[in-house]
A and B are shown apart, each in its own frame.
Chain A
Amino acid sequence: MTTTSVPIFADESWRLPSRGTVAMLSLIIGESAIFTIFVVAYIYYIGRSVSGPTPKILDIPIFMTVCLLSSSFTIMVAEHAIDHGRMALFTAFWALTMLLGIIFLGGTALEWRHLIYIDHLTIRTNLFGTTFYSLVGLHATHVIVGLMMLSIVLVFTLLGRINQSHAERIKVLALYWHFVDAVWVVVFTVVYIVGR
């Protein structure tokens, strides 16, 4: 059975969406569902703590947020750079993205140290503590995982192994980073604006 006996299209090209993008979007949908459940729990329990510190003790983390959201911009520049084969620019902005992510995590760590040791809020203090640390912690975990993946790429870039042909895959990874930032917008709004 050869292909010639089956009529085929004359001029149509057969193009399908990139599997990397499809897979990453699917992962993002799944992760969004997990975050949604934690957000719903957070919202449901607003104001229901029986005792202990309330969200009033939270300081709005403006600097951290600006850093993290800017990192979406810097990673976009990096994506653009590798698309055009400008590896030096790519490396610089990729590293800058990571730096901004690390600053964000550092900010979270400082905030938590204050909450735990000064305000005496832990995950077991009350409903606010439980839902706060779970939700913000879940997000921070995703930032850490993202940073780990970004650092692998940075290492390979510095070793000279990454070039323009990897642009597609880099963009798939960047999609994950954008997702992490988008989740922060939601978490920030729910925890620091609506919940306070």
Chain B
Amino acid sequence: MADQTLPIPSPFEVPQTGTAAFLEWLHDWFVTVDHKKLGILYVVYSLFFLLVGGFEAMCIRIQLIIPHNTFVTPEVYDELFTMHGTTMVFLVGMPILFGVANYLVPLMIGARDMAYPRLNAFSFWLTAFGGLLLYFSIIGGFGLYGMGSAPDIGWFAYAPLTAKAFTPGHNTDYWALALIVSGFGTLGTAINIIATTISMRCKGMTLLRMPLFVWLMLIVSVLTLVTITPLTAAQVMLLIDRYLGGHFFDIRAGGSALIWIHFFWIFGHPEVYVLVLPAFGIASEIIPVFSRKPIFGYSAMVAATVAIMFISLGVWAHHMFTVGMTSVGNAFFALSTMIISVPTGIKVFNWLATIWGGRIRFATPMLFALAFLVQFVIAGLTGIMLSAAPWDWQLHNSYFVIAHFHYVLVGAIVFNIFAAIYYWYPKVTGRMLSETLGKWHFWLFFIGFHLTFDPMHVVGILGMPRSIYTYEPNRGWNTLNMVISIGAFIQGIAVLILVWNMIRSHRSGEMAGNDPWDAWTLEWATSSPPPSYNFATDPVVRSRRPLWDLKHPNDPDWKYEP
């Protein structure tokens, strides 16, 4: 479908000759509106902050490796865990997933770019600037203890701790402003993805023929519209309190601490679905290709995801079982949370049915996708444990919760991000990543992940709360914390192997060609890397797997697809 007579250079290839050429190359990256380049910018930006957030996690784990440690002061520790959470959610999770979507969605639907390329670029730079603003607080935020203080109020920033009376410096303001700015960027990208998937599909691609990754990004983008905006509203209210003398969360004026908690989790819960649904989309692309079968139950997968989107708007107070809602309120949210496990389980079973009867190839992308599947089941089950409200009265704010959500964020989402990198890096750069280094990365990360997050469940059951910079030595938590910290180091090494793999393979990786994995969706129909116009002629499709149809003209999908 894409006719080319000239080799397409990798987007990263720096011209060899002269400063002028280099500056022009750099300039091109700054002004680009090409969805592919913007996608790459998002991913590179996020991987940088993954290292920063990982460094913060390392510092946290060093401080907690033994009781009464003095590696960092309590003030610095509070900044570390606040920045770790804020960075990982807003500067890594969201941008990398929207970045991957930016790159792939137009290709997968046979379009030449997103619906609004300039809005796309604007959104990226807003998001990027928001992140830089957040980190500028380290030097710019005049904190209680002198110059420079990153936010230290927790990533959830509960009022009234964030009131000027309790947090007089500027660090809270950097937190609020940075996220407001990057929130608008996210909103722009969400609008763009919705407009693109609805209005720019190539001929023949009905909604029910879109790749599942595209479907999930559409659903995620719709969810984002009503997810990020409550946070923006609450943060504006916080700033009104702090700077205009407002009383939204001012206890003495009759304001409510509870209302912040509600608003934050009205954002916070759907937010985790915004993070996990793209990961599901990635798995739904990779698992079929490496099982050599189509996804089992495509329509059920779509329906289940739409159900998850709606239900996720009604479960937020399961983060609030201990704040003193009525028993009826608690029961309602316990029920809604349990209900969301049904469509989620449907998705797990469909992935299982996809590999069932297949011919599984254990390339690195599939290793990460299979580990995701195994780990996500565990994450879902600990989620069910947390949904049993009385049990949550013990588990809430303990390390058990940290274990649960890292099982989702790392065990499901980061694993899928790694799978996506190994799977689509050849398309983006034209070269394969090293399988050997990939397997080292996988096994080290898998071992480190389990060493860290499995014992965390136990230490939570033994009564260790979260957000503490140290702990008493006689509580029975010492050995477990040491094991947890060691696992963190191993994960760090694994990620460095990935970074090395990505840099090295760019020069000397095996040439990939259009379709190294023998896959079936439209992005594999064009060159690796694609030309700036994506396809030489507009594709026309007749089924969910247009390349399968081309490769199997006697046995095309459109004859059998329900």
Contact = CB atoms under 8 A, between A and B. Distances in A.
B246 interface: yes
Interface string A123-138: 1101101110010000
A127 B255 contact: yes
A123 B236 CA distance: 14
Interface string B375-393: 0000000000000000000
Contacts of A20: 195
B253 A127 contact: yes
B245 interface: yes
A37 B233 contact: yes
Contacts of B116: 19, 23
Interface stretch (A42-50, A83-91, A161-169, A188-196): A42-50
B229 A6 contact: no
Bin chain B's interface residue count. Answer: 35 or more
B203 A134 contact: no
Interface residue SS majority, chain A = helix
Contact of A37 (B230, B241, B546, B558): B230
Contacts of A50: 252-254
Interface in B204-231: 204, 221-222, 225-226, 228-230
Interface string B170-196: 000000000000000001001110111
A112 interface: no
Given A1-B525, A30-B187, A124-B246, A19 B195 contact: yes
Contacts of B234: 37
Nearest to A27: B191
A36 B199 CA distance: 28
A124 B229 contact: no
Contacts of B549: 6
Contacts, number: 133
A33 interface: yes
B247 A34 contact: no
A14 B203 CA distance: 6
B273 to A, nearest CB: 15
Interface in B61-110: none
B233 A38 contact: yes
Interface stretch (B127-135, B345-353, B469-477, B536-544): B536-544
Residue from A9, A130, A134 whose CB has the most chain B CB atoms within 10 Å:
A130
A1 B549 CA distance: 12
Interface residues of A, number: 41
Contacts of B236: 134
Interface string B531-561: 0000001011110001001100100001000
B322 interface: no
Given A19-B199, A22-B194, A127-B253, A31 B229 contact: yes
A5 B189 CA distance: 36
B53 to A, nearest CB: 27
B225 A134 contact: no
Given A3-B540, A31-B229, 6 more contacts: A16-B199, A22-B195, A27-B187, A30-B187, A33-B233, A134-B240
Interface of B: 1-2, 115-116, 187, 190-192, 194-196, 198-201, 203-204, 221-222, 225-226, 228-230, 232-234, 236-237, 240-241, 244-248, 252-256, 259, 263, 266, 525, 537, 539-542, 546, 549-550, 553, 558
| 7 residue pairs, one from A and one from B, having the closest CB atoms | A124-B245, A19-B199, A37-B233, A33-B229, A30-B225, A23-B195, A130-B246
Interface of A: 1-3, 5-9, 14, 16-20, 22-23, 26-27, 29-31, 33-34, 36-38, 41, 44-45, 48-50, 122-124, 126-127, 129-131, 134
12 contacts: A5-B550, A9-B204, A17-B199, A19-B115, A23-B191, A26-B195, A30-B226, A37-B229, A37-B266, A123-B245, A127-B255, A131-B248
